Amino acid sequence: MSDGTLTPPVSERDHVAGPEDAPVTLVEYGDYECPYCGMAHPIVKRAQRELGEQLRFVFRHFPLAEAHRHAQLAAQAAEAAGAQGRFWEMHDMIFEHQDALEPEDIIGYAKSLGLDVAQLARDLEAGTYVKRVRDDFRSGVRSGVNGTPTFFVNGIRYDGSWANEQAFIGALRDAARQGVRAAVGSSSR
Amino acid sequence: MSESDFDRLAPNILPAGVPAPDFALNATPDQVLRLSELRGRPVILVFYPADWSPVCGDQVALYNEILPEFREYGAEILGISVDGVWCHAAFARDRKLHFPLLADFEPKGAVARAYGAYRQEDGTSERALFVLDREGIIRWSYCSPIAVNPGADGILSALESITGKSAPARTESFENAAEARP
């Protein structure tokens, strides 16, 4: 069965926040309309604040579109914003307004972020990022994602609780220490 | 419980290499589906304990989303539990499921028993997966701890080996990522 390894690994196609050489890479497979992902969002934010340069965060889409009818469009909107260099701003905006994800809401968020709204609307209408979102979803299936949110810490599925914020951040700090040690070990070889 | 502990205690579900026992079960109140009618296509059998329980919900929701990938392999997927047809109908409607749920209802759990996937103590089936090839031979089987959603990666790997087709995600979508690897 799944060995819980991230497939494919983080690459330049991903949306990445944090330094490339950070000792910990946290990957989230998430659904913008999933209430648990909404709960996890501020916890990830806190982890990013507390670990600072120690943490690189990556978000991949895993919309359960049959269950959450706004999830697919929201994911595409984040991608469309990403094409304009503003992925994370839209990502935050969507998670902070999970109860208002109709197309007109999304357009409103694009406006308030100062995006090229006409371009974003065209992208959504044309389905420009449908394949990109689907590719993320497929990579999640291959990596052993079985629900949302699913986290990977340094490429290995994190099966502990994320809802326990202290435990989650503690696990990331442990991974940071091990990551630093691994890096030191490999450079001294 | 560690994975190896679980393997040791795992029930004896039918293993790879064995012909899948045929069955005929109701898919709706007036429609019966016979397994052997699906010869010529790979078939995924998903035994799960019960409609409405939270883990099953996640599991069927996940498979529902992955249907396009399963269909790329020409595969059919069938959910099977001991729930009755009306229960299945309500559950499928609520979760907007696009694959059949079969009622292993009378005699209760008979098909689950034939596959070694019946939990006598609970009166439900195990959370067991079987992937059958086009000739109806079991090519992969897996029994998950009852509370753990087994995901879909094992199913996709089995379909890949049966059909000789590699995963679309690997061949098409991640060429760049593969190149980026050291």
| pLDDT at residue B53, as a whole number | 77
Which residue out of B56, B129, B132, B159 is catalytically annotated?
Answer: B56
pLDDT of residue A61: 98
Catalytic (active site) residue B56: yes
Within a domain: A172: yes
Chain B residues within an 8 Å CB radius of A147:
58, 62, 149
Domain-located, residue A44:
yes
User: Got the DSSP string for chain A?
Assistant: ----B-SSPP-TTSEEES-TT-SEEEEEEE-TT-HHHHHHHHHHHHHHHHHGGGEEEEEEE---TTT-TTHHHHHHHHHHHHHTT-HHHHHHHHHHTTT--SHHHHHHHHHHTT--HHHHHHHHHHTTTHHHHHHHHHHHHHHT--SSSEEEETTEEE-S-SSSHHHHHHHHHHHHHHHHHHHHHHHH-
Q: What is the CATH number of domain B3-180?
A: 3.40.30.10
| In-domain check, residue A115 | yes
Q: Domain of residue A142: give its range.
A: 15-179
Q: For the segment A107-131, what is each residue's pLDDT rounded down to a tens digit?
A: 999 999 999 999 999 999 999 999 9
Question: Which structure tokens are listed for A21?
Answer: 């050489």
ipTM value: 0.70
- Residues of A with CB below 8 A from B174's CB? 8, 13, 135, 139
CB–CB contact B153 A12 (8 Å): no
Beta carbons of A143 and B149 less than 8 Å apart: no
Task: Return the amino acid letter for B93.
Answer: R
Residue A146 is predicted with a pLDDT of 85
Q: Write the CA distances from B33 to B22, B25, B26, B29, B131, integer angstroms.
A: 11, 6, 6, 11, 17
Judge whether A62 lies within some domain: yes
B11 to chain A, minimum CA–CA distance in Å? 16
Domain tally, chain A: 1
Question: Can you give the residue ranges of every domain in chain B?
Answer: 3-180
Judge: A11–B180 Cβ closer than 8 Å, yes or no: yes
Structural domain includes residue A38: yes
Is residue A111 situated within a structural domain?
yes
Residues of chain B under the 70 pLDDT cut: 1-11, 54-57, 166-182
CATH code of A57's domain: 3.40.30.10
Residue in A closest to B175 by C-alpha: A8
What is the spatial distance between Cα A72 and Cα A89, in angstroms, rounded to a whole number?
Answer: 18
A2 within domain boundaries: no
